[in-house]
Amino acid sequence: MPINKILLTTYSTAFLMSGGSESELVQVAEMLNNDHFQTDVYGIKSRPLHYYDRVMHFSLHADGDSIIREVSKYGAPIMLWPHVWWTEAPSAHEVSRIESLINHVDHLVFNSDTELAHFCNYLQVDRDKCFVIPHGISGKFLQPYDVDLLQSVCDVTDYAVCPGLIEPVKNQLELIRALNQIGMNGLFIGGYRDRDYFLKCQQEAHPGIHFLPFIQPCSALLRAAVGGARLLVEPSYDPPGRSCIEGAFLRKPLIMLDGDWQREHFFEHAWYSDNPGSSAIAQAIRTALGANDQVEHVDALHDHVTQKHSPERITSVLNKIMQTKIK
């Protein structure tokens, strides 16, 4: 049986400020390679386009349009992972650009039913092209982690961890104010996208709150930082994404804002803040820390995510989609 050869692409400046979408691309490449595909990420080491059987493109960023259009000329099947969540309606020009672009792709892949519904709320889409594949989480998160490794780079204990780029949509400032109210230590991982917002976060943080720059996805250090935390908190305005699922893999209590995406993934097994303010977030943290049934919720969520988001399940679904013919 011939090996399926796949090229993964994204827009040109994506890795200048790596976030969740870039982590998704890297982990999809890892999962496919482990499942006997030959998978390359576009760059100096990738092969000429005609070598590949198909292309997977990550993101709807306008800088990536030319890649999709160029691939389309060669006739290679294109699987597009939009990775977009609008906090306000996109402009008519943006809607027109995206609807024109998706005419060039064979499959549209979303990581949740909520994301698909959100996308279709703003755009006219051929639903036969649309598929839902849960976030695939690296099997490395099932390995033991070194609880002492974090101490080699950061002297923090008894802390809440918050992964992700620091920016207003992620709402870290209100989390910092919540931790100040509780008197709890914190660890923020991932650097920043908005420098002014980051400086404000630093200024308001009490001395037990620490900030680390970007840490390689799936790395031993990231697993140690998440695994050593008392709980994981992401009070983001948009769906928090794969980092919360990774936290569930490592059996961490999860605290986040309430919402459809969150309920789809975590049911009643996470602790939800009913608004994005610091007092509500602080109350959700206190409730999680004091919950008598905390272990039961954490174990139930761990069992759910390890089944739904395992690499083997994701590559199996991808295989089926790649065999699907579009009318």
Please give the Cα distance from 284 to 288 (Å, whole number): 6
231-234/5-10 β-pairing: unpaired
CA distance 171 to 65: 30
Q: Taking Cα atoms as reference points, which of 176, 242, 255, 236 lies closest to residue 209?
A: 176
Q: Which helix (H) or strand (E) segment is 272 a member of?
A: strand 271-273
Question: Which of 325 and 253 is assigned the larger pLDDT?
Answer: 253
What is the per-residue pLDDT across 23-72, written as a single tens digit (0 to 9) for each? Answer: 788 888 888 888 888 999 999 989 999 999 999 999 999 999 999 999 99
Q: Is the pLDDT higher at 74 or at 221?
A: 221
- Give the CA-trace dihedral at 23, 25, 27, 28, to 10 degrees: 160
Q: Is the pLDDT of residue 184 over 90?
A: yes
What is the Cα 55 distance to its own chain's centre? 21
- pLDDT of the residue at 316: 85
Average pLDDT, the chain: 91
Whether 154 shows a pLDDT value over 70: the answer reads yes
- pLDDT higher than 70, residue 3: no
Walk me through the domains of the chain, giving residue ranges and CATH numbers: 5-136+310-322 (3.40.50.2000), 139-308 (3.40.50.2000)
As a whole number, mean pLDDT of residues 89-99 equals 95
Instruction: Read off the pTM.
Output: 0.90
User: Rounded to whole angstroms, how far apart are CA atoms 231 and 208?
Assistant: 15
DSSP state of 250: T
pLDDT at position 124 over 60: yes
Q: Say what the pLDDT of residue 120 is.
A: 96
Which two three-digit tokens encode residue 42? 């576009």
Instruction: Work out the pLDDT band at 139, boundaries 50, 70, 90.
Output: confident
Q: What are phi and psi of 107, to 5 degrees?
A: -135, 145
